Structure 1
Amino acid sequence: MLALLLAHLLLGGPRRAAAAPPAPAVVPAVVPAVVPAVVGAHGVPGGTLAVAVSALVPVAPGLTQQALDGSRDRFVLRTADNGDAAGRPLPTASLVKLFLAEDLLHRARAGTVALGERDWRLLQDMVSASDDPAASELWDRFDGPQMVRDVAARYGLSGTAPPADPTQWGETTTTARDLARFLATLRRVADPADAATLLSWMSTATPIAADGFDQRFGVFGTAPPSTAVKQGWMCCLGGQRHLHSVGVVDGRAVVLLSEVPRGVSYDRARAALTAAAAALPSSDPG
């Protein structure tokens, strides 16, 4: 069953007298009718696809981050998804790297960690090339499970949790709905410069990952060049193969999380996720 969610989000503390109230957010239409076409295009027997599409929540014109932090910021998050599937926790695989990067950018700006030149290279490689050793080092050094908890609290991600085995960052769990919320509100919750940095790393995703895996599937396989994307893949937790793709396309956060039997090859899973992404119209009718 499709779910069309309209959520009023309240962030920050008491309103500062000097800060003008933010203008009502003007967001692209998100039409739930697009979701069945995306799910239907996936078509892997025994597989499941979780879909969530959210309109990006813009930063109000002229409102500084300092004013945002001190205001009672009101906005609307518009999301279309495929109901229970979009709310089911799945292993993130490499998508957790987005949470790690956001949290380290947040901590660095707050002055609670000092990142050296090598750390910045690790962060970019972790996101753009999906570098696993970089993620493992940052996870171990900066308490990865706590980073996941902090991001979940900051963005209101109710279906996101650290892995049961704290050494296995790829087994962090999240939902399609949570990832859409994270990407759609990134520019509103994070400092604008930090959001821009993370999105720039996503927009320079490499066709071939650091481990040699072909990343050109799903959103990355269909969107225009320089689209902000992140891919994830892993096998075979619970006898399942997981292949995920998220991105920011045409003013929307697009999330596709797939789970297929381990007997389904990565090539077939990649083709199915690319077909699903291609079924999403380039822009929703408004």
Structure 2
Amino acid sequence: MSGAVDWVPAEVDIDVPSSARIYDYVLGGAHNFERDRVIGDQLAQVVPVREMARLNRSFLRRAVLFLIDNGIRQFLDIGSGIPTVGNVHEIAHEADPSCRVVYVDYEPVAVAHSQLILRGDPQAVMVQSDLREPERVLNDPETRRMLDFDQPIGLLMVGVLQFIADADDPAGVIARYRDALPSGSYLALSHFTPDNMEEGMAKAVGVFSHSAEPIHPRTHAQVTAMFDGLDLVEPGVVFTANWRPESAADQGDDPEHSGIYAGVARKP
């Protein structure tokens, strides 16, 4: 396998599954390893993880386009993961090439491949940092170079907050980002939930316990509370498949069991 992993950063332990690489695998990406694929396959036995990932990715696209329609031209994508087709800068630049994007992740493979893909792109950059350190993320020189904090920003936290334990106060972390953003900014997030999938999600928690990042699914009320201080846009916090679907493909076969809540809100 050594010849196949020459692209792997030296600090990566390929025997420890990572959420970013598992997500890459279930989306059909190529930047993952055997242990990531084992976890992905185990997840597929307890929850429809590939459909969940597809619907989550589709929500990301619709959310970005919604923000662009509402005047947003700069994005801060926290926990952006490994680059696959349909990244934020690709979606945004197709709509308006002037859009600027800052990606943030701490997973070395995600960072390395984002930097490779973005090389030579003056409108997008990758920052290696932990979302639980908002001040470090927000004050990174690349973040400050790319984003104008006097103008509205689209903050994206899509499919990442379930990896933040209650002890790390995810709602409090979000509030620190929220308070740093100017009026007219938006937050778009999605989050694993046990609602309507209690048994399967409990088993998924067990599967993820063998990875670098355990998951912490949360209820509708808990996810909704993450938008405190912001004005939710219609239809509020709903399953990803039900957030402003544009086609039957956006909704999938069973929208009420898509396993991930999503919402978008505006800062007054």
When normalised by structure 2's length, the TM-score is 0.31
Which is bigger in relative contact order (C-alpha 8 A, separation at least 6)?
A: 1
User: Which structure features the higher share of strand residues?
Assistant: 1
When normalised by structure 1's length, the TM-score is 0.30
